[in-house]
Structure 1
Amino acid sequence: MTQIPLGLIGLFIGVPLLLIEIWLVFMINIYTEKAESHLPTSQFVANNISMWSHAGFIGKTMRNGYLTLVLAMPDICSRRGILEIAEARQFPRQLKLILFISWGLAYIFFAAMMVMGSYIHYFQ
């Protein structure tokens, strides 16, 4: 395969990835505290805040990512005592979609870029 199609594929993956990363920076700054406020009695959220609050933006990113991961698996997390299932079910659906779609798209495009990079490295 020539370099031009590989470059175009990289462009079609890289540009959306860059836009998603810009959106993630905005989303993390705006929605982290809002999402945590919907889980007021959760010990998980309190522990996350105390552990990551001193780390600035990276800490806020970790808090947002962990919260999204816990909301993605509420049954498993409730069995382990991390999250109360009633709070997870009352969590606003629109906010949950924003978290899931943002992190999911970032993961998909990052994985696609890694696969393309591996392909280029392997065949050159």
Structure 2
Amino acid sequence: MSQVPLGLIGLAIGIPMMFVVIWLTYMVHVYTEKAEALMRNSSFVEANKKTFSHAGILGKSVRNGFLTMVLLTPVLTAKRGLVDVVEVKNFPSGLKRMLVVSWGLNFLFYVILIVFGGYLQYIE
């Protein structure tokens, strides 16, 4: 296969991934505190704030990612006493959908990029 189609495939993966990363950066900056405020009785929120508040936007990203994982797995985190199930059920569905879709798209493009890189290594 020539280099031109491979480069175009790389662009088709890379450009949307950059838009997703820009969106994630904006979303993390704007919505992390709003989402954490909706989960006042959850012990992990306070622990994450203490641990990652000094790390700037990267710390906010980690806090936002942990919050998204808790929203995806409320039963597991409730068993460990980290989250109040009522707060998760009362979490606004629009905000939850935005968090999950944004991080999910980022993960999807990351996996696609890894698969494409593996394919490039395979054809060499």
Band the TM-score falls in, shorter-chain normalisation: over 0.9
Aligned counterpart, 2:54: 54
Shift of 1:122: 2.2
Partner amino acid, structure 2, of 1:121: Q
Aligned counterpart, 2:116: 116
Q: Distance in 2 between matches of 1:113 and 1:4?
A: 17
Query: How many corresponding residue pairs?
Result: 124
1:13 partner SS: helix
Identity %: 46
Q: Distance in 2 between matches of 1:77 and 1:40?
A: 15
For residues 36-115 of structure 1, what are the structure 2 equivalents within 5 Å?
36-115=36-115
1:39 partner SS: coil
Q: Distance in 1 between matches of 2:31 and 2:2?
A: 43
Pairwise CA RMSD: 0.8
Residues 48-99 of structure 1, C-alpha deviations (whole Å, 9 max, x = no match): 1001011111111100000001110001111111111111000000000010
Aligned counterpart, 1:3: 3
Q: Distance in 2 between matches of 1:27 and 1:98?
A: 9
Partner amino acid, structure 1, of 2:80: R
Aligned structure 1 segments of 4 or more residues deviating by more than 3 angstroms: none
TM-score normalised per structure 1: 0.97
Shift of 1:112: 0.4
TM-score normalised per structure 2: 0.97
Q: Distance in 2 between matches of 1:26 and 1:93?
A: 19
Shift of 1:37: 0.5
